[in-house]
């Protein structure tokens, strides 16, 4: 019967302090629990058990930040308002905070490190942000009017926040229409990684003077292409007028003094129905018989083109080539 028993706890807590009480411990450490019962007839020592309360891991803690920060030109420290591990609130005395101070706007990561003598181990990380400061800067340029020079004109730009010049790293300057006579533009934009945020501000300026005309390149007249072309008469015996027979270009056409690339095109054959009997190479002028030819004379009109070059103009000439197939 355990009724009327006295339960005591004793041990050493993780911070090194001794613990002795009838109240169960809650801090981490190594303990012994003893159950003792005293009666009128005798004293009775029940039993003792050793047990340990181990530290919880703080790495999965939910961290709530204090007031949000906005850039102010000074180093600021991000505070922590609450740390929870599960349903338990982690006391401020249980951890130390590091990497929670910064100067410039941006995103940072702080560390919450559990103390060696507390109820937690490990470390938690939490991202915090220093927001960019919203401003409406005053932008001025050194001059409103410039003389035309033929080169880009870039007025000197001054950007102020109140009485203080804005650091050059916190904005960018973009020029437009700043070369030819007319109205030029200069626009100040917030820097993508700067400490301030603001709407684009554009200033205009005048460029006076006449536009210097670019000299028109002198056109050199090309000389007439001296190409000469002469069509020939090609005589074939019946055996030579067979399908796939070939007549070399030089055999059918004489081309001299051509300037530039020479190409050939079959324009017509005396009798239209015979055009399908001939195939002409555009590169070499070679004539290929697509069908066996009967005895007779076939007149092929062929256009010869010389492409010309930097000195000579293009030339085209059409000549007639006769293909005679004898009876025997």
Determine if the pTM surpasses 0.75.
no
Res 182: pLDDT: 95
105-111, Cβ contacts within 8 angstroms, sequence gap of 24 or more: 105/70, 105/71, 105/130, 105/131, 105/132, 105/133, 105/194, 105/195, 105/196, 106/130, 106/193, 108/78, 110/78, 110/80
**Which two structure tokens, joined as six digits, stand for 4?**
């009327």
Give residue 146's Cα distance to chain centre. Answer: 38
Q: Are 97 and 128 in contact (CB under 8 A)?
A: no
327 neighbors 241 (Cβ within 8 angstroms): no
Residue 164 exposure: Cα atoms within 13 Å on the Cβ side = 7
Q: Which pLDDT value is given to residue 279?
A: 93
Report the C-alpha gap between 286 and 280 in whole angstroms. Answer: 6
At residue 317, φ and ψ (nearest 5 deg) are -140, 140
pLDDT number for residue 118? 87
According to the model, what pLDDT value does residue 180 have?
95
**Rounded CA separation 57/114 (Å):** 9
Nearest to 270 by CA among 246, 239, 293: 293
**pLDDT tens string 261-293:** 999 999 999 888 888 899 999 999 999 998 888
278-280 and 196-197 beta bridge pairing: unpaired
All residue ranges of the chain with pLDDT < 50 are: none
* Closest C-alpha to 64, from 35, 33, 89: 89
User: Half-sphere exposure of 15 toward its Cβ, with a 13 Å CA cutoff?
Assistant: 12
Report pLDDT for 5: 81
CA-based nearest residue to 324, from 240, 229, 230: 240
DSSP code for 67: S
Residues 280 and 298: their CA atoms lie apart, in Å, by 14
Are the CB atoms for 153 and 214 separated by under 8 Å?
Answer: no
Distance, in Å, from the CA atom of 229 to the CA atom of 253, rounded to the nearest integer, reads 7
- Tally of CA atoms within 13 A in the half-sphere of 134 that contains its CB: 0
pLDDT of amino acid 215: 66
Q: Locate tokens 């820097």: which residue?
A: 191
pLDDT score for 219: 75
Predicted pLDDT of residue 211:
56
């Amino acid at each position: 019967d355990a009724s009327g028993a006295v339960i005591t706890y004793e041990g050493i807590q993780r911070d090194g302090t001794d613990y002795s009480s009838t109240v169960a411990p809650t801090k981490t450490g190594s303990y012994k629990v003893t159950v003792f019962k005293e009666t009128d007839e005798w004293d009775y020592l029940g039993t003792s058990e050793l047990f340990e309360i181990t530290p919880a891991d703080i790495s999965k803690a939910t961290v709530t930040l204090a007031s949000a920060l906005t850039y102010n030109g000074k180093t600021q420290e991000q505070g922590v308002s609450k740390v929870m591990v599960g349903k338990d609130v982690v006391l401020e005395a249980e951890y130390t905070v590091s990497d929670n101070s910064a100067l410039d706007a941006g995103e940072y990561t702080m560390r919450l490190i559990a103390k060696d003598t507390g109820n937690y181990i490990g470390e938690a990380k939490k991202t915090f942000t220093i927001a960019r400061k919203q401003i409406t800067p005053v932008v001025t340029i050194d001059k409103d009017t410039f003389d035309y020079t033929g080169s880009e004109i870039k007025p000197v730009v001054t950007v102020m926040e109140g009485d203080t010049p804005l650091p050059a790293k916190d904005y960018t300057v973009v020029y437009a229409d700043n070369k030819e006579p007319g109205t030029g533009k200069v626009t100040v934009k917030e820097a993508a990684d700067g400490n301030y945020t603001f709407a684009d501000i554009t200033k205009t300026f005048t460029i006076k003077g006449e536009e210097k005309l670019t000299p028109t390149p002198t056109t050199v007249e090309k000389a007439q292409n001296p190409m000469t072309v002469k069509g020939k008469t090609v005589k074939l015996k019946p055996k030579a007028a067979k399908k796939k027979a070939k007549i070399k270009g030089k055999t059918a056409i004489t081309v001299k003094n051509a300037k530039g690339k020479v190409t050939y095109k079959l324009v017509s054959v005396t009798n239209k129905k015979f055009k399908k009997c001939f195939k002409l190479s555009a590169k070499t002028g070679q004539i290929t018989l697509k069908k066996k030819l009967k005895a007779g004379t076939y007149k092929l009109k062929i256009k010869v083109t010389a492409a010309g070059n930097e000195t000579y103009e293009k030339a085209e000439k059409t000549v007639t080539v006769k293909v005679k197939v004898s009876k025997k």
